[in-house]
Amino acid sequence: MVDANTAARPAPALLPALGAMTALQGLVALALFAPGVVAPRAHIEVWQLSMFSCAVFAVGIPASFWGGGFIARLGSLRIASLCAAAIVVGMALASLGSSAALLAAGLCLGLAMGPETPASAALLARLVTAERRAFVFSVRQTGNQIGAVCGSLALPAIAISLGPAWCYAFVGGCALLAILLFEWLRPAYAGKVAPPPKLDLRARLALVIADRRIATLALASMPFSAMQVSLNTVFVTLGTRELGLGHIEAGMALACAQAGGLVGRLGWGYVAMRLDASRTILVVIGLGMAFCAALLGLNGASLGRGGQFIIAALFGLTASGWNGVFIAEIARLAPQERIGETTGAVLTASYAGLLAAPALVSILDGVASLGMAFFTLACLALCGTLALIWEGHDKAEK
């Protein structure tokens, strides 16, 4: 029998939860961005930054995979608070300045990066209607670009005027404020969720492979993620070395790509919501990123400055704009009581693409060129897109 007071209680509002979870992703992006921004002033070498990134993903992958059970037990906003606490600890370690401290900071930030997307998916999926899901999830995914833009504007000025340690203190202070926000909101969204049965590795993998549509999404997300991280990390080097751009021009081209990614995360989500066609939108995005990467990799130098900037913006529109539609599609297909766990399991494949991409690009750059590396990534993204098309074709025939 349903209690009358419970039945009359209004549903929690969407916007505060959406704002909180967008802020969480922005905070994680800001923390991940900090060591690279302060590197020139703090004398952090490239190999140290690579070690930091590997540590983040090495912890983030299992944290994402196993975090779903904790989300169901503790609630998404309590998980958000724990993620912010991990950022506070990570920034305190990074401020020590040694290689060992930077490695430890990466390990701590992996604990924040891994669970934040599954926690957001589990909370927002309860609050949004099916027809608005793709757009809402896309808005949430803009936190990554918001954090990157805020970091690029604020952290260099702080590092120059006050020193690198104050950059880490600034990020840590933002994380402490976020904890207060998450804990203030938590009672309104603390739905009573029965602890799920313990799921071993095989059971969690079964959440992905039991539905071929989810398995195909996981497969496609690997090259999509590899393309995204390569765009963000080595595009400037591609521009200066092989596209004939100056350093400042290459940075401006990357800024165009980041702006395209911000527009893409909102625009693709809106289109997917209006057309109710998330899978089709992902196919269009996959074809677009494959085309842009192949064009820049094989013939980018002949495009001219205007053409290079336009293709860079389109590259960001696709390679950085797919995440929200992707997460929304997972939430739509997953068992409703297992959204957090399913999202975490699928994101394991995405993070594997993030982890493998730097090594793949480095090897191809050594034996051929960065252009050939981007062309190879384009071929892999095309394969992932064809898998989405094939799965949709099979479903239509049945």
What CATH number is associated with residue 126? 1.20.1250.20
364 inside domain? yes
Please indicate, yes or no, if residue 1 is contained in any of the structural domains. Answer: no
**Last-in-domain residue among 194, 229, 258:** 194
Mean pLDDT lowest among 54-58, 111-115, 289-293: 54-58
Domain count, the chain: 2
pLDDT of residue 376: 95
Do 242 and 164 share a structural domain?
no
Q: What mean pLDDT comes out for the span 350-359? A: 81
Please give the pLDDT value at position 254.
79
> In this structure, are 294 and 353 located in the same domain?
yes
Q: Which of 168, 194, 220 is the last residue of a domain?
A: 194
CB 380 within 8 A of CB 373: no
Q: How far is CA 31 from CA 88, 146, 171, in A?
A: 9, 12, 6
- Per-residue pLDDT tens over the stretch 17-40: 899 999 999 999 889 878 876 766
pTM over 0.85: no
Instruction: Tell whether 330 and 374 lie within a shared domain.
Output: yes
Question: 199 pLDDT band (50/70/90 cuts)?
Answer: low
Question: What is the distance, to the nearest Å, from the Cα of residue 98 to the centroid of all Cα atoms in its chain?
Answer: 27
Total Cβ atoms within 10 A of residue 9: 9
Task: Output b/e per residue, 67-86; b: 16+ Cβ within 10 A.
Answer: bbbbbbebbbbbbbbbbbbb
Residues 339 and 222 in one domain: yes
Question: Taking the chain, what is the end-to-end CA distance rounded to the nearest angstrom?
Answer: 41
Q: Which residue shows structure tokens 């669970």?
A: 115
Please check whether residue 4 lies inside any domain of the structure: no
Q: Angle 76-94/164-189 helices, nearest 10 degrees?
A: 170
Q: Are 178 and 291 part of one and the same domain?
A: no
Q: 70 and 20 share a domain?
A: yes
Joined together, the tokens standing for residue 252 give 């401006």
Q: Residue 180: what pLDDT?
A: 96
For residue 178, being part of any structural domain is answered with yes
The candidate with the shortest Cα–Cα distance to 343, out of 208, 164, 212, is: 208
Q: Name the residue type at position 232.
A: N
CB contact burial 196-231 (16+ within 10 A = b; e otherwise): eeebeeeebbebbeeeebbbbbbbbbbbbbbbbbbb
Decide if 48 is inside a domain. yes
- Residue among 144, 138, 179 at smallest CA distance from 25: 144
Domain membership of residue 188 (yes or no) is: yes
Give one DSSP letter per residue of 6-75, joined into a string: HHHSPPPPHHHHHHHHHHHHHHHHHHHHHHHHHHHHHT--HHHHHHHHHHHHHHHHHHHHHHHHHHHHH-
* Cβ 291 vs Cβ 237: under 8 Å: no
Is the model's pLDDT at 275 over the cut of 80? yes
175/31 same-domain check? yes
What is the C-alpha to C-alpha distance for residues 118 and 138, in angstroms, rounded to an integer? 14
Domain boundary among 161, 194, 227: 194
Within a domain: residue 108? yes
Domain shared by 177 and 71, yes or no: yes
| Amino acid 11: pLDDT | 59
One domain for residues 103 and 85: yes
Q: What does the pLDDT read at residue 191? A: 62
CA distance 279 to 177: 37
Q: For residue 135, is it within any domain?
A: yes
Give the range of the structural domain holding residue 111, as residue numbers without chain letter.
10-194
Residue 102 is encoded by which pair of tokens?
């930077």
Of 64 and 218, which is predicted with more confidence?
A: 218
pLDDT digits (tens, 9 = 90+) for 369-393: 889 989 999 999 999 999 999 876 5
Q: So what's the pLDDT on residue 65?
A: 67
Shared domain for 66 and 93, answered yes or no, is yes
Region 170-189: what's the mean pLDDT?
92
**Residue 182 and residue 211 share a domain:** no
Same domain, 75 and 117: yes
Q: How many CB atoms lie within 10 A of CB 66?
A: 19
* 277 has a pLDDT exceeding 90: no
Give the count of alpha carbons within 13 A of 7, CB side only.
4
Check whether 228 has a pLDDT greater than 70. yes
**Residue written as token pair 């963000």:** 232
Which residue, 161, 33, 168, is CA-closest to 93? 168
